[in-house]
Structure 1
Amino acid sequence: MGMVDFELAVQDTHGLRVAARLGVDRVELGTALALGGLTPSRGLIETAVETPGIPPVHVLVRPRPGGFDYEPDETTLILRDIRNVRAAGAAGIVVGGVREGRVDADLVERVVAAAGELPVTFHRAFDTLADPQRAVETLVPLGVRRILASATDLDRLAGAVDAAAGRIEIMAGGGVRPDLVDEIVRTGVDAIHASAKHTVGAPVGVTLGSSAQAGSQGRETTDERQAAQIMATLRLAQAPRNHA
């Protein structure tokens, strides 16, 4: 097994600078991570790609909050966003879709075709599926490069790694902390994904929406120290294996 990659999820220009400084292996770029992440603007994608020292930028394409069962017009929007992501110079696409409790194979097939040469990651919509082994068997022949799966259920995660059998990458994300890295690595995953967020002061003077009440005191952004700690712990966890 090779090195376990570290992918940092970022949502703003500060996060991009952190990713470049730390030298992470990959960036997942989105916005509104507090909502699980949404498609970033074309301007933010271009800014990411042009940030000096930035690793490969994989862009989340998710048109709205909520579940992952998309209407036809939403699918059309996803495919249009993918074309824009490619044109902006990104290195990969992150997407997911579910239909009747299973992978939405039609959507994924169209996404992979629209992505062209760019690798596709199936995001944590995977965690909503009752049968992860079946999902792996669906995604492999569709040409998906990797699956993002929850790090909070290590047995399920290890089961996904076993089902993948090296045919598709499994990346652990969601709830990743430095003290969990050793256990996550032992499941055999190919990568670890974390957003390493903290809240910074950013008071709002007026109510802007149901999730942005007047007087709200903060917004989330990347915590460089936490991201660096996860990355250092990951490298340390692999050190014995690398010298074996």
Structure 2
Amino acid sequence: MTAVEICVDDLAGVSAARAGGADRVEVCADLACGGLTPSFGLVEDAVDAAPVGGLQVLVRPRPGDFLHTSDEVSRIASDIRALRRLGEATRTRLGFVVGVLAPGAVIDEAAARLLRDEAEEAPLTFHRAFDLVADQDRELDRLISWGYDRVLTTGGDPVTARPERLKRLAQRAGDDLVVLVSGGLRSHNVADIARRSAAREVHMRAPGASGGTDPHEVRRIVEALAGPGSAARADIAARRT
């Protein structure tokens, strides 16, 4: 069964994702710019409302490119340390989502290693800065060697999931790292893209008509992926909220 991660930027979104049956949530601030580090207060509230699969926290200090200065990398590291301590006081599995590039369209190795160390045993995802690298095969191998757990990617496209590329990356990663499939996914197309990309996990928003996260769209996503019996799964999740 393909796991569903929903990206949200407020506590209501966390609750809606859980009510709809999502496996996991990524929380951030300011989705309009691609997401930034959320307030620690939001994270503290979100860990209690998160689905059983846990909570991922985007740690990104500013909008714009991913060529972060040494001071910005230090800030990312210190935020991870503080958030990790917050996570130790809860039963919710707390992970982090990061990404720092270096000139030449490659991953910044020193930053990547530092952030892996700061996260300790927490799950660590390299975010869609990965779609800007010049050689995804090489950079995937490097992430595996540094102990990253996931990479969030469309397969290299700025917007849209590329199933064939994603499938090739997943085959290359094997069991060493999860390719977290993203890129324009919604309930109407997620099952087809997941099938064609051999996705173990998918990541997307579930926007409502009036904004925010729509628990009904989350449920439609879950049902599209899970097939028969998925409604019961979503109903159980809803009763836990």
Q: Cα deviations across residues 126-179 of structure 1 (Å, max 9, x unaligned)?
A: 111121111111100100001111152222212211221221101111200223
- The residue type equivalent to 2:35 in the other structure is G
Distance 2:228 2:164 in 1: 19
Aligned residues of 2:28 and 2:37 also touching (Cα < 8 A): yes
**TM-score, structure 1 normalization:** 0.83
The corresponding residue for 1:96 is: 99
Distance 1:71 1:178 in 2: 38
The corresponding residue for 1:62 is: 60
Aligned residues of 2:24 and 2:51 also touching (Cα < 8 A): no
Write out aligned runs for 1:195-234 (5 A). Answer: 195-198=205-208, 200=210, 220-234=211-225
Q: Of the candidates 79, 82, 87, which is equivalent to residue 81 of structure 1?
A: 79
The corresponding residue for 1:133 is: 137
The corresponding residue for 1:144 is: 148
Following superposition, the deviation at residue 80 of structure 1 comes to 0.8
Cα 1:177–1:237 change in 2 (3 A) is farther
Aligned residues of 2:57 and 2:97 also touching (Cα < 8 A): yes
- The residue type equivalent to 1:92 in the other structure is G
Q: Which has the higher contact order (CA 8 A, sep 6+)?
A: 2
The corresponding residue for 2:123 is: 119
Distance 1:165 1:193 in 2: 19
Greater alpha carbon shift after TM alignment, 179-188 vs 6-15? 179-188
**TM-score, structure 2 normalization:** 0.84
Larger radius of gyration: 1
Following superposition, the deviation at residue 232 of structure 1 comes to 1.0
* Secondary structure in 1 matching 2:4: strand
Write out aligned runs for 1:228-243 (5 A). Answer: 228-236=219-227
The corresponding residue for 1:217 is: none
Aligned residues of 1:61 and 1:78 also touching (Cα < 8 A): yes
The corresponding residue for 1:22 is: 20
Greater share of strand residues, 1 or 2?
A: 1
The corresponding residue for 1:214 is: none
Following superposition, the deviation at residue 51 of structure 1 comes to 2.2
Distance 1:226 1:40 in 2: 23
The corresponding residue for 2:165 is: 156
The corresponding residue for 1:242 is: none
Cα 1:127–1:109 change in 2 (3 A) is same
Aligned residues of 1:39 and 1:61 also touching (Cα < 8 A): yes
- The residue type equivalent to 1:33 in the other structure is L
Following superposition, the deviation at residue 52 of structure 1 comes to 7.1
Greater alpha carbon shift after TM alignment, 40-49 vs 3-12? 3-12
Unaligned runs of 5+ in 1: 201-219, 240-244
Aligned residues of 2:100 and 2:111 also touching (Cα < 8 A): yes
- The residue type equivalent to 1:236 in the other structure is G
Aligned residues of 1:23 and 1:54 also touching (Cα < 8 A): no
Cα 1:5–1:52 change in 2 (3 A) is closer
Cα 1:119–1:53 change in 2 (3 A) is closer
Following superposition, the deviation at residue 55 of structure 1 comes to 4.1
Mapped pair 1:109 → 2:113: yes
- The residue type equivalent to 2:132 in the other structure is T
How well do the aligned residues superpose, as a CA RMSD in angstroms? 1.9
Cα 1:26–1:161 change in 2 (3 A) is same
Aligned residues of 2:23 and 2:51 also touching (Cα < 8 A): no
